[in-house]
Structure 1
């Protein structure tokens, strides 16, 4: 397996770091709103994050009720390429294409987490996830997708080999760290009719043995990034590397 490269045409459409926590009971939305005061210059647009709940009522008559509640805020950078969610259950930082590099992405997530953490004082970190959503644009004609992908659904030779669509999900326990890799792969709409596009979504998460110490926490995330890199390289071929170099 090759070492991770910095691809000049990286197929990343979105990268995100998600940190889920348990907050003290006294932390409410007004505390989350204080995060905005600290980052408003870089993230001027603000939206509320709402959740909707419905309930069916059965008996002599059947009815339904619905309600909504606010669980946090979503902040956007000027160019709408960076998004931070601050919620009563955690923080998510996303970077949309074009993606520059891991170091810049990680360092901004660390800065935002530091602000969130200092204001909310989480009791415990319950889940850590690193997700990279890629779109591989492969020029037509394509005789065999196996030329571009090493992880791909195999169709019985007794069936027609043409595909108009597919979705595949694999859940793969990882070595060294007790993480799970959720690999989603599917045909998605291409940018033009001259391509076939494949979604390659790598979602790596950790729900046990999460370090609460700050230094150890970011060391674990660094190892998760290495795992993600290995998974990506394991899924593609040299033909794909030539397309994104």
Structure 2
């Protein structure tokens, strides 16, 4: 984040590139990528996942079940990984987050290698996402003391509630990009503690509006916006939980 913290709340950061399909997927790409990065990401594993998608049809939307296959290349300590699939490249980093100055070159170097191997046509979607977890001690907690972005409950309703989740999409760059802001409660591993996830995901959603050559600038701009959004969403009392470095 823009400010430095002794105990930053980031539990995962990822940068994902989806590419415009220009030809049938070449199944040799994961192997070629692995040969270039295996000294840093030697572990290999395959991941299969299912998702629900919607496709426009006459009269409405048609639901589709989508199967996603990815090959993951991991560091020995499993703190970082590179994922590749059909027209897809994702770079993830888990705790401890190494600062943006170290994560950014990791993203851009793997993007450069992927481009040299696959020669993609352009970007379909780009996303830079930061997932933050806050553990707030106390039996009774006022969210407004810790967050500037939180659920609003009308005064005529009880002001005590359990699990919650809110999501807002904020447009940027004349609608080309969006900041997806999500705050929700999650199960805490500690007694008398409220555990919250603040998920900030900045995405380019209009295909080919950002060229391959503009990727570095886009990623840098996305990081600045996510940083600013984080600081706006939390209060000083929340920052005290992370021990801001002066």
Report the TM-score when normalising by structure 1.
0.85
Classify 1:144/1:94 alpha carbon distance in 2 versus 1 (closer, same or farther; 3 Å). Answer: same
Partner of 1:184: 182
Q: 1-side partners of 2:175 and 2:36: how far apart?
A: 34
Q: 1-side partners of 2:205 and 2:144: how far apart?
A: 33
Deviation at 1:27, TM superposition (A): 4.6
Partner of 1:149: 147
Classify 1:204/1:52 alpha carbon distance in 2 versus 1 (closer, same or farther; 3 Å). Answer: closer
Deviations 1:32-87 (A, max 9, x none): 21111111122122122435599xxxxxxxxxxxx997744111111111121111
Query: Aligned residues, how many?
Result: 230
CA contact (8 A) 2:123 2:212 kept: no
CA contact (8 A) 1:127 1:210 kept: no
Which structure 2 residues correspond to residues 44-193 of structure 1 after superposition, within 5 A? 44-50=42-48, 71-174=69-172, 178-193=176-191
Q: 1-side partners of 2:136 and 2:108: how far apart?
A: 35
Which ranges of structure 1 fall in alignment gaps of 5 or more residues? Answer: 55-66
CA contact (8 A) 1:19 1:125 kept: yes
Partner of 1:212: 211
Q: 2-side partners of 1:190 and 1:140: how far apart?
A: 12
2:231 paired residue among 219, 230, 233: 233
CA contact (8 A) 1:29 1:72 kept: no
Deviation at 1:161, TM superposition (A): 1.4
Q: 2-side partners of 1:120 and 1:217: how far apart?
A: 16
Q: SS of the residue aligned with 1:227?
A: helix
Q: 2-side partners of 1:124 and 1:176: how far apart?
A: 20
Q: 1-side partners of 2:134 and 2:174: how far apart?
A: 29
Q: 2-side partners of 1:33 and 1:136: how far apart?
A: 38
Q: SS of the residue aligned with 2:28?
A: helix
Partner of 1:22: 20
Classify 1:52/1:202 alpha carbon distance in 2 versus 1 (closer, same or farther; 3 Å). Answer: closer
Q: SS of the residue aligned with 2:126?
A: strand
Which ranges of structure 2 fall in alignment gaps of 5 or more residues? Answer: 53-64
Report the TM-score when normalising by structure 2.
0.85
